[in-house]
Structure 1
Amino acid sequence: MGEFKKTLVKQYPRQGTGLTPDNIYWKNFKFPITVQEFGCADFVHFSSDGDYFAVTASARVKVYTCINNEISKGLSKFSKTAFGGRFRKDGRLLCAGSEDTNVRVFDVNNKHLLREFKGHDRPVHRCDFTADGFRVASFSDDRTVALWDVGGEARLHALEGHTDYVRAGACSPASADVVVSGGYDHAVRVWDARTGTCTEKMDHGGPVEAVLVLPTGGLVVSAEGRRLVTGSLDRRLKIIDTASYQPVHTLEYPSPILSVGIAPDDSKIVVGMSDGLVSIQDRKPEPAGETAERRPARRAFRHKTDTVSQPVRSEEDEKASAAPIRQQLDNYDRHLRRFEFSRALDAVMERQVTRKQPERAVAVMQELLRRGALSAAVAGRPALSVRKLCTFVGKHLSQPRFSLTLLDAAEVIVEAYSDRVGRGDPDLDLALDGLRAAVEKHSEYLESLYALQGGLDMLLAAAAAGDGKKLAETPAVESSEKMEVEAVTAS
């Protein structure tokens, strides 16, 4: 029996830029430690010295120690959900808002409740200490921003101007008299804490969920090699270059991101998610006495030494090395070798394959089409498996490198399940409807391309005909001009 021929997986050039210093820097983190909270992780904040970080979730604020990532303190003097716990600059006090409309100030060391500011009519989602540490600004759903005196426990100002919920806010770290707020009325306002007046208003164009005042005190920083970190409900954390405001690196998480905190020295990333998961990642330490400049040279020297100092091989070793080496096969090739077509297709429909190596899944489909076995591989599947197939085909159908194979695969899937459409299986109907919509969209795309190609062909043909006509007329013009010159000379 001949040797089994492995499935040919075409290698395509990787899209995007190569490895950059930002990629190397932000990939140099350990495997994340995850902590499960009882409610969504609303806010993460690091103390200015980087020794602690606070996670606000459910009806408490937990203070973690950065050295061992363990809970050091638990602040739970809340009757309802807590929001936006922030440290003061010295790390000794922490303020937090609440769904019960009150703002609380805690002593972090002994967990005592020092102040409770009452005056808002609706929940307070964010609060912050001013730069001098003597006042607290609170941002509430009652459309106001309040300034509180920590020492006297009195409200100094009620800043009015927003026309919808105020869910975002921060105080300037460079000035004790500058407060910034953002609301669902699409407005970002800058307030003077001395007079309680709005000095600047900007239209954001959409509801504002977070604002950041940069360490320099400006809202927009000049290009100084700094980075902004953003989290989103699409489960991606992006590092943004403030010079071009383009993402330079992306990290993915298992759930929608609600809050992000980074240690002052970039040694730790803490991400809070909507399902209560908190991801904690520490930066990998550099080996002692080793730098990035020395590491490649040392590797090259070790490789050179190993190559030179190879042992002398005997005749028995030569015979053993001449023996045939057992072929290493991937899971899908093992199933194909045993004619287990359905299992081979299942092996490449795993999430890690479809997301990171879709070319392998397409290669297996192409091999099954070549063998005429794709119909048998897709038949008799539950609705969830059919939906996974249809989603993959519809997602990658528009890519030119996959379109021919996936169009044939889509036809096979539709033929295999056409008799089950409309028979009380909504998941199957939804999957096939999605596949049909993807094929129709691809057909419209091809029609527009063909129309564009036809128009370009007409233009090129007309241009070529015009050039040929000019070339044909050029000798006649030259000869007529020559005859006129000769006639004038003769006269």
Structure 2
Amino acid sequence: MASFKPTKVPVYPKLGEKVSEDTLYWKNYKAPIQIKEFGAVSNINFSPVAPHNFAVTAFTRIHIYGPFSQEPVKSFTRFKDTAYSGRFRSDGQLLVAGCEDSVVRLFDVSGKVALRMFRGHTKAVHVTDFTSDRYQIITGSDDYTCRLWDIPNAAELTTYQEHADYIRCGVTSKLNRDLFITGSYDHSLKVFDARVDKSVMTMDHSQPVESLLLYPSEGLLVSAGGRYIKVWDLLKGGQPLVSLRNHHKTVTCLALSSSGQRLMSASLDRHVKVYNTTTYKVVHNFDYSASILSLGLAPDDESIVVGMTNSILSIKHRKSPEESEEISGLQRRRPSQRGFVKGKNYVPKQDDYLVSKPVKQHLAKYDKELKRFNVSKALDQALESWTRSKLKQPEVTVAVIKELDRRGTLKNALAGRDEQQLSRLLHFLIGNLVDARFAPVLVTAAEMILDIYRSVIGQSPIVDRQLLRLQELLGKEIDYQKDLLEVLGMLDTLFASSLPRKEVPCSDISRSNGPVQEEARTSRPELQVT
């Protein structure tokens, strides 16, 4: 007796799945390395100088990590309270950070003790950055003020008190040492010029502002706050260009790719989204395990570093070209067990006898019922597997229905069902009948159900609604297929008429085929006329 063959579940193409260049580019990262920090990671900043170490600000410490190190190569722990906004200078030699105790500290990257301490703010300092000339620092505080400091003299140069709430983000111009921009919880963005004693431009974000980003040309400014990301044209007086709302929780940080053509945003909804800066459409998405507070992108996009509220620092490194080629060339699965007999290159001898152990076949529940010829229970098991699946993949249920139809027992499996079983079956058919991948199989099943249960209409309002809905979908699907067949016939006619006809000279035919072919050629027009 032949052994039972399990139901073959075909692999269908996934609808809507598009593999773009962005997908290939942003998926080309290794598995993330996770490092436990001492507190929530509030800021990540990459050094602009090779080897591009990055500073991680978490709780009362700032750790500096190397490009591929899992342990900090340098630590600054001389903070009395929570540290904020550790940022490198453009030459990578100095680092500035704010603190909950309102003191701004300046560190030499190669040292341990603070070189300068700037006192003047009265509340926590969340914003620090260097100006482009490297000799000044701008700071923003919860005391509603932003200040400009001179590094050599450790003196305060200017104080601006124009915001009406906490200042939580800021950015300095890399092209002009006198310009910097701040964002506040009072919903406003302000552009300051150190040569005048007040702001020169104000924009309304309409939400508490969490992060700011300047494009390399500095003609465009990006602000993030609430669920919104907005792009402003600074060359036209701060005119809003784009407003994005792709996150469903507060957007906390922004980053720009090395090419400047991709914008990245991270949010408390645990997602990092990548936008095309031409169309501002989302081209890729990263998922993380906890809410994201900080995001850093290494030069040349070699690493993506994310800091989360659960004190986890996640680092993804880009794969090398050799690793990418190796993975793409070896897409086969590794066996779960491998046996070695007398070395890798062992060759059996002529008198050796191979003892093979029969492999036990494990059948799915629906296959077990099919083996026992319980066709109705087999269909029930297939529907149950679809119901329990989190991804709602109907391929298995469709394969079982196709197998029952092949056996000629589909009508028996569909008949004799109570209200609950019939309702679940109708729910499956209604949800998948219009799918082009499953329609050839499910249309047959739907027609059988309408024939079988036509007599029970009126006994259950739930089943009645589902049967009417199924009948409506079935009629539309049949009409669509008829229209498609007509269009296909038209296209076949057009393609056939557009193909060029190859004409062979008569002299060539007579020379190559002799008098018989010549006679057939001369008689062919007479046949066409008659």
Q: Tell me the TM-score normalised to structure 2 length.
A: 0.57
Residue equivalent to 2:305 = 270
Q: CA deviation at 1:358?
A: 2.8
| Residue identity in the other structure for 1:173 | K
Residue equivalent to 2:28 = 28
Indicate whether 1:230 and 2:230 are aligned.
no
Q: CA deviation at 1:91?
A: 0.6
Residue equivalent to 2:200 = 199
Return closer, same or farther for 1:13/1:104 CA change in 2, 3 Å cut-off: same
Indicate whether 1:154 and 2:188 are aligned.
no
Residue equivalent to 1:358 = 392
Residue equivalent to 1:182 = 183
Give per-residue Cα distances to partners, 1:453-472, cap 9 Å, x unaligned: 9xxxxxxxxxxxxxxxxxxx
Q: CA deviation at 1:400?
A: 3.8
| Residue identity in the other structure for 2:24 | I
In structure 2, stretches of 5+ residues that fail to align are 222-230, 234-256, 332-357, 402-412, 435-461, 473-530
Contact 2:268 2:292 in 1 (8 A): yes
Distance 1:44 1:362 in 2: 46
Indicate whether 1:259 and 2:294 are aligned.
yes
| Residue identity in the other structure for 1:245 | Y
Residue equivalent to 1:172 = 173
Residue equivalent to 1:84 = 85
Structure 1 segment 68-467 matched on structure 2, within 5 A: 68-220=69-221, 226-287=261-322, 354=390, 357-359=391-393, 363=397, 400-401=431-432
Contact 1:362 1:402 in 2 (8 A): no
Q: CA deviation at 1:14?
A: 3.1
Distance 2:123 2:261 in 1: 37
In structure 1, stretches of 5+ residues that fail to align are 300-323, 377-392, 404-442, 454-491
Residue equivalent to 2:514 = none
Distance 1:8 1:184 in 2: 59
Q: CA deviation at 1:209?
A: 0.4
Distance 1:333 1:195 in 2: 81
Which secondary structure does the structure 2 equivalent of 1:287 belong to?
Answer: helix
Distance 2:367 2:59 in 1: 49
| Residue identity in the other structure for 2:392 | P
Return closer, same or farther for 1:359/1:62 CA change in 2, 3 Å cut-off: same
Contact 2:382 2:397 in 1 (8 A): no
Contact 2:105 2:116 in 1 (8 A): yes
Distance 1:235 1:74 in 2: 28
Of all paired residues, the percent bearing the same amino acid is 40
| Residue identity in the other structure for 2:320 | P
Q: CA deviation at 1:216?
A: 2.2
Residue equivalent to 2:250 = none
Return closer, same or farther for 1:14/1:216 CA change in 2, 3 Å cut-off: same
Contact 2:164 2:186 in 1 (8 A): yes
Q: CA deviation at 1:172?
A: 1.3
Contact 1:103 1:118 in 2 (8 A): yes
Distance 1:89 1:132 in 2: 9
| Residue identity in the other structure for 1:120 | H
Contact 1:335 1:344 in 2 (8 A): no
Distance 1:67 1:86 in 2: 20
Contact 1:332 1:348 in 2 (8 A): no
CA-atom RMSD in angstroms? 4.7
Contact 1:144 1:159 in 2 (8 A): yes
| Residue identity in the other structure for 1:22 | D
Contact 1:60 1:82 in 2 (8 A): yes
Segment of structure 1 superposing worse, 130-139 or 325-334:
325-334
Residue equivalent to 2:42 = 42
| Residue identity in the other structure for 2:114 | L
Q: CA deviation at 1:214?
A: 2.1
Contact 1:345 1:361 in 2 (8 A): no
Residue equivalent to 1:54 = 55
| Residue identity in the other structure for 2:94 | L
Distance 1:265 1:101 in 2: 35
Give per-residue Cα distances to partners, 1:115-150, cap 9 Å, x unaligned: 111111221112111111111111111111111111
Distance 1:109 1:147 in 2: 25
Give per-residue Cα distances to partners, 1:373-397, cap 9 Å, x unaligned: 9x99xxxxxxxxxxxxxxxx9xx99
Q: Which has the larger radius of gyration?
A: 2
Return closer, same or farther for 1:156/1:225 CA change in 2, 3 Å cut-off: closer
Return closer, same or farther for 1:72/1:372 CA change in 2, 3 Å cut-off: farther
Return closer, same or farther for 1:335/1:129 CA change in 2, 3 Å cut-off: farther
Distance 2:387 2:42 in 1: 35
Distance 2:103 2:370 in 1: 65
Return closer, same or farther for 1:152/1:19 CA change in 2, 3 Å cut-off: same
Segment of structure 1 superposing worse, 69-78 or 272-281:
69-78
Return closer, same or farther for 1:13/1:204 CA change in 2, 3 Å cut-off: farther
| Residue identity in the other structure for 1:78 | F
Q: CA deviation at 1:55?
A: 0.6
Contact 2:95 2:108 in 1 (8 A): yes
Contact 1:41 1:274 in 2 (8 A): yes
Return closer, same or farther for 1:169/1:326 CA change in 2, 3 Å cut-off: same
Return closer, same or farther for 1:78/1:50 CA change in 2, 3 Å cut-off: same
| Residue identity in the other structure for 2:204 | D
Q: Tell me the TM-score normalised to structure 1 length.
A: 0.62
Contact 1:231 1:238 in 2 (8 A): yes
| Residue identity in the other structure for 1:266 | D
Return closer, same or farther for 1:153/1:27 CA change in 2, 3 Å cut-off: same
